[in-house]
Amino acid sequence: MISERTRRNLRRELRRSLLAKLGIVVVILMVAMAIFAPFISPYSPSQQNLDNARQPPLGFSTAETREVTQMENGSVVIEDGQVVTETQTVYTNATFAHPLGTDGNGRDILSRIIYGARTSILVGLFGTSLAALIGVLVGLSAGFYRGRVDDVLMRSADIMLAFPSLVLAIALVGVWGQAQAPIPDPFVATGIAPAFRSAVGLPTGMPETVVLPGTVIVVVALVNWVWFARVARGEALSIREEEYVKAAKALGASDGRTVLRHVLPNAITPILVLATIQVAAIILLESALSFLGFSGADVSWGFDIALGRQYQSTAWWISTMPGLAIVVTVIGLNLVGDWLRDALDPGIEGEGGV
Amino acid sequence: MSLSRFLIKRSLQGLFVIWGVITVVFGLRFISPGDPANVLLPPDVDPEVRAQVIAELGLNEPLYVQYWQFISGIPFGDLGLSLVTRTPVAARVVARLPATMELAIAATIVAVVIAIPLGVLSATRRHQPADYGATVFSLVGISTPNFWLGVMLILVLAVQLNLFPTSQRPIGLDGIAMLLAGGDVGAAVDGFVTWLWHITLPAITLGTYFTALITRLTRSGMLDQLGQTYVRASRAKGLPETLVRYKHALRNTLIPVITVIGLQLGTLIGGAVITEAVFAWPGLGTLIINSINARDWPVLQGSLIIVAVGFVLVNILVDALYAYVNPQVAYD
Amino acid sequence: MADTILSVRDLSTRFFTEEGQVNAVENVSFDVEDGEIFGIVGESGSGKSVTALSVIDLIESPGRVTQGEIWYRNADLAEEFRGSKPEAVDGDLVDIRRLPKGVRRSLRGPSFSMVFQDPMSSFNPSITVGEQIAEAVEVQRRARSNPRSTRSRTQGYGLGSLLVDSLLPSKSYVDDESMDRAVELLDQVGIPDPEDRADEYPHQFSGGMLQRAMIAQALAGEPDILIADEPTTALDVTIQAQILNLLRDLQEQEGMSILMITHDLGVIARMCDRVGVMYAGEVVERGPLADIFENPVHPYTQGLLGSIPDVDDPSGRLEPISGNVPSLLDSEMPDACYFADRCPKAMTDCLTRIPEYELDGRHSVRCVLAEQEYDPADAVDSADATDAADQEVSADD
């Protein structure tokens, strides 16, 4: 399916482009972070410590003035029947225990980012796969059969396009509710991760399940399949005119066989390029849904940005850090997308190459 | 095919899409398995209220009657009544339109005014610092979620530096127009300054992605055009570089950029919804979010229809512009 | 003998690509005389188009003309620069490579213009053909009325109005007079109904008609030298003959010179007075048409002529030149005659760089056979040559 020439182009473009290398490294790191979260996360993402809330990230400290009860010899000072308080400036310093700081409930932000990667990448991968499956089926049928089938399918695609994807996604999740499927985390269930953690001295008690945001995955696929349909249709329209496809049909190959054996493999390149960019788009969409509180996820980068907003005057890092995680991930994916596009489609040259 | 016939054909397609949109929105009630009333009402509602609502909404009528009731009022601007406020949905939606349109237009202007010169600069100074700067900006711009950008802008420019307000829209362009009509120029100018002050951050928030996207498209389109033989031929016949670049290459670059802007309108409206949520901007976006939270389905349905119809109309407009700029379309 | 209008000496053009330095044109010399058609013939990749683009100063990054002189006869320019740039002036001739950039640009149109291979891609698809020709007229009209301004970068065209124009299809910068001239030009190149056709877009033209329109556009500045880069390659055979006849007629009417770039020896035989044969960036042989065709000295020229069918002797086998066109990468170019590894008559003397030998003042050749007879005893048995012979390529490819 991937020819030697394609691989050579990919390698050559990768050698040439520093940005492509950067993108691949970022994406691999993010995926590894998501997969191995139970091993590398310093704490459980939900472990609260209210005494240690809003601790700043490394390199920063905060000064906060509060009223503190005056104490003398271990007892509260009372004057005129009232507890005496004094204004104190409380300095909170960063510690290596929480390199990215803690949130409003004292949860470790780094751990939440590591576990948040799981949500983003699960939705990104499953959502894109589902969207590609629907879109490619629709697009290939439309392009291959043309005529009435094409009209009906592509007009439906036009109707889908008339809804802004975020608006439709909000509406669908709003109407549908938020179904989530907890799946046992294989590393925790098999005991590998807890054993590893106690061996290296990390706190145990990691979440036992990975939450698969089912509704969100279905919804992001439903609002994004159209892009795949358009690309697949365009490819099918041109490939069906190729001699080898005509030859296969003349030899009596069934339609399904012709599409699977001849049309799909030749349409795969642009679909792959689109899929890479769509993973980025869907991660952004998921974070927007979570930010608005519609996804139902409680460990998600978008959701944490929203949580941090109430502390925007005192603890800027709570919203900032998860946002940076999104930006870095999406930049990585876009760079990989640029790399694939530059390498696989010499027709669109000149962009993104440094 | 002449331009007018092209537009008539395009408008008929648009009408079809609008019908499809209305039908899909009608169908939203039924996507949940089981009784459609379950979608419309919280599960623990009093059975009597439930029966009343079902009757009122005509949910016990046959499907085609319900569909007819839903669709027949729409051409006359009847989008039903809000379940919460019992007021006409159409009026509520229309009241929210100016705020959203202001935001979308401001963001588009920001994007076009910055992005096209930046993209041209980047393409004509390829492999120079300006090009690298523009490339990095556009990469980061298309990768940044706009709601987070909004939160960061508020954090730095509003909360820390106190340069801009964090939220709200105390006056809109419609209000300013009223002041002007009333002859109060001073108040109108004050109002405009206030408006500008409040819309700056939301417009940047919404516009950044599009600025980045259009910069990227303009750059790659311009590079593509500058490599075409006709550019070389224009130089060979003695045209000065300004004419070659800005009359020939830029114009052919903008033709596909216009199409993409049209296709991205949906993203613009989607972005407006979430930007409104960040800045408490009283537009359609906040209305949609509030209606979902309040389970006020008629308002949600009405908003979706208005958004989609607006999308279709603007796309017809973009197509007309496209056909006007690119003479080949009308003949294809 | 007619005067020389263009004299190219030791011209080298290199491309600095990621793969390395490409020597597209190397030490090329030739002359074009008044009112003649000079042909440059060679395989694709031999550097003939790059030579043409170097002359008209349209080499783009990563390419650059790295050395050589391009002497062009223009008494006015010679007068103008005699004092300020004496090294660029020789009698009536000026070395355009030494002239300022603005002056070089202003030569495009009135001194040199160019007809390209594919007319469809050489016109802007979104502007009418008439307007594009009128543009060329307009630029020259403005140049004549105000010679100084044509050397400035914007040439009196403001950026602001251009930005507006680039969004709105209007003709504000082309006035009616230029448009009338464009219609005249279309008429002159034999386009029927020129007034109507002027308002049509390139995609409404047939290939042959569009090539005529491009010739009209090239004539707009009344050039001294018209460079025709494969002007008929993209056209049907029947149309090719029409275009060639048109060029010939126009050349006689206008008294201009034509630099004809082609891979097609038929075109050369039909059109040219003198010809230069290019191989691997070098002119390997040049001289009057009859000398080259009847008495070729360079084995490459002989091979090239042997690879076209002979109507008088259809039974004779075509003799393809064995081997492949060489790489022009600087790092891979041998320190020998570039043709040696494909040459049937390669000798040990060929393993050094070969200079150009004058045969009789008009005919010169870059081959040792100019001075000595082929001696089989001295032949090089190059492994490369036998290797490459497995994949024979006809020179006409």
Which chain B residue's Cα is nearest to A175? B39
**CATH number for position B251:** 1.10.3720.10
Contacting partners of chain B (3+ CB pairs under 8 A):
A, C
Which residue in B237, B241, B252, B321 has the most chain C C-beta atoms within 10 A of its own C-beta, making it the best mutation to test that interface? B237
What are A8-58's pLDDT values in tens digits?
888 888 888 888 899 999 999 999 999 999 999 888 888 888 878 788 888
pLDDT in tens, A101-121: 888 888 899 999 999 999 999
Q: Which of residues 209-248 of B touch A (CB under 8 A)?
A: 216, 219-220, 223-224, 227
In this complex, do C126 and B326 lie within 8 Å of one another by their Cβ atoms?
yes
Chain B nearest C-alpha distance from A341 (Å): 13
The model's pLDDT over A197-253, given as tens digits with 9 standing for 90+, comes to 888 888 888 888 888 888 899 999 998 999 899 888 888 888 887 888 888 878 877
Look at the pTM and tell me if it is higher than 0.90. Answer: no
Those residues with Cβ within 8 angstroms of residue C18's Cβ, 6 or more apart along the chain or in another chain: A16
Pick the residue with more confidence: A342 or B199? B199
pLDDT for the residue numbered A1: 53
- The partner residue sitting opposite B247, judged by closest CB among C53, C108, C166, is C166
Residue ranges of B 168-197 with Cβ closer than 8 A to chain C: none
CA distance A172 to A319: 27
- To which residue do tokens 């009325």 refer? C145
Residue A288 has pLDDT above 70, yes or no: yes
- Residue A129 has a pLDDT of 96
Instruction: Identify which has the larger pLDDT, B79 or B202.
Output: B202
Across the interface, whether the CB atoms of C110 and B238 are under 8 A apart is answered yes
d(CA B165, nearest CA chain C) in Å: 36
pLDDT of residue C172: 55
Report if residue C241 sits inside a domain: no
CB contact set of B285 (below 8 Å; sequence gap of 6+) = B100, B272, B273, B274, B275, B276, B277
ipTM: 0.87
> In chain C, which residue ranges form alpha helices assigned H by DSSP?
48-55, 75-84, 101-107, 119-122, 129-145, 159-167, 176-188, 194-198, 207-219, 237-254, 265-271, 289-294, 299-306, 383-389
Q: Which residue has the higher pLDDT, A181 or B145?
A: B145
Mark which of C174, C205, C222 sits at the end of a domain: C222
Instruction: Give the burial class of C66: count Cβ atoms within 10 A of its Cβ; 0-12 exposed, 13-18 middle, 19 or more buried.
Output: middle
Higher pLDDT, B59 or B200: B200
Which amino acid is present at C58? L
Residue to mutate among B116, B224, B230, B255, with most C CBs inside 10 A, is B230
| Domain housing C218 | 122-222
B182 lies in a domain? yes
CA distance B259 to chain A (A): 14
pLDDT profile of chain C (397 residues), mean per 10: 84 88 91 92 88 91 90 89 87 90 86 90 89 88 71 60 56 76 91 90 90 92 91 87 91 91 90 92 91 89 77 64 78 84 84 82 85 77 45 40
In a domain, C340, yes or no: yes
d(CA B4, CA C100): 51
Flag if B267 and A305 touch (Cβ within 8 Å): no
Answer yes or no: do A327 and B31 touch at CB < 8 A: no
What whole-number distance in Å separates Cα of residue B213 and Cα of residue B143? 10
Contacts with B234 from chain C: Cβ below 8 Å:
124, 132, 135
What percentage of chain B carries pLDDT values higher than 70?
A: 92
- The predicted structure's pLDDT at residue C164: 59
A329 to chain B: nearest residue by CA? Answer: B143
DSSP H helices in chain B: 3-27, 36-40, 47-56, 63-72, 89-124, 129-143, 146-153, 173-181, 185-226, 229-236, 241-242, 250-263, 265-279, 284-293, 297-325
Quote the pLDDT of residue C85. 86
Q: Are C264 and C233 in contact (CB under 8 A)?
A: yes
Category of C287 on φ-ψ map: left (φ > 0), alpha (ψ -120 to 50) or beta: left
Beta-bridge partner residues of C379: C347
CB–CB of C143 and B240 under 8 A?
no
Q: Considering the domain boundaries, does residue B8 fall inside one?
A: no
3-state secondary structure at position A27 = helix
User: How close, in Å, is residue B282 to chain C by CA atoms?
Assistant: 34
Nearest to C201 among B237, B325, B328 (CB): B328
A170 closest CB neighbour out of B227, B292, B308? B292
Is residue C283 one of the residues assigned to a domain? no
More confident residue, B33 or B28: B28
Q: Which of C54, C104, C122, C203 to mutate to test the interface with B (most CBs of B within 10 A)?
A: C122
pLDDT in tens, A66-79: 777 777 777 777 77
The pLDDT of residue B35 is 57
Q: If you search the block for the tokens 């201009």, which residue do you land on?
A: C256
- Phi-psi region for residue C172, left (φ > 0), alpha (ψ -120 to 50) or beta? alpha
pLDDT score, position A275: 92
- For residue C62, whether the previous peptide bond is cis, meaning omega lies within 30 degrees of 0, is yes
- For residue B39, the model assigns a pLDDT of 57
Domains in chain A, please, with CATH? Answer: 4-58+99-348 (1.10.3720.10), 60-93 (no CATH)
DSSP track, C154-198: STT--HHHHHHHHHS---TTS-HHHHHHHHHHHHHTT-SSHHHHH
How far apart, in whole angstroms, are the C-alpha atoms of residue B279 and residue C54?
59
The C-alpha of B151 sits at a distance from chain C's nearest C-alpha, in angstroms, of: 36
Distance from CA of C56 to the nearest CA of B (A): 7
Say whether residue B16 is in contact with chain A using an 8 A CB cutoff: yes
Contacts 24+ apart (CB under 8 A), B56-63: none
Nearest-by-Cβ selection for B145 from A165, A174, A323: A323
Q: How far is B190 from chain A (nearest CA, A)?
A: 29
Check CB contact under 8 Å for C155 and B250.
no
Most confidently modeled range among A165-174, A289-298, C244-253 = C244-253
Whether residue B214 is contained in a domain is answered as: yes
| Mean pLDDT computed over B277-289 | 90
Judge: C153–B327 Cβ closer than 8 Å, yes or no. Answer: no
Pick from C106, C126, C214: which is nearest to B251 by CB?
A: C126
Least Cα separation, residue C127 to chain B (angstroms):
8
pLDDT at site C171: 47
The overall average pLDDT reported for chain A is 85
- Residues of the domain holding B204: 94-293
Determine whether the interchain pair A175/B297 forms a contact, defined as Cβ–Cβ distance below 8 Å.
yes
* Residues in B touching A327 (Cβ below 8 Å): 140, 143-145, 148
The residue among B96 and C376 whose pLDDT is bigger is B96
Q: Indicate whether B288 pLDDT > 80.
A: yes
Residue B135 within any structural domain of the chain: yes
- Does C176 reside within a domain? yes
**pLDDT reported for residue C62:** 84
Q: What angle do CA A278, A127, A173 make, to 5 degrees?
A: 115
Q: Is residue C83 part of a domain?
A: no
Counted domains in chain C: 2
Q: Give the tens place of pLDDT for each residue, A257-280.
A: 888 887 888 788 888 889 999 999
- Set of chain B residues whose Cβ sits within 8 Å of the Cβ of A171: 28, 288, 292, 300, 304
Q: What sign does the CA torsion over A295, A296, A302, A305 have? A: positive
Count CA atoms closer than 13 A to B75's CA, side-chain side: 5
* Yes or no, beta carbons of B236 and C108 under 8 Å apart: yes
B139 to A165: CB separation less than 8 angstroms, yes or no = no
Number of domains in chain B: 1
Percent of chain A at pLDDT exceeding 90 = 27
Assign residue C6 a region: left if phi > 0, alpha if psi is -120 to 50, beta otherwise?
Answer: beta
Residue B167's pLDDT band, with cuts at 50, 70 and 90, is confident
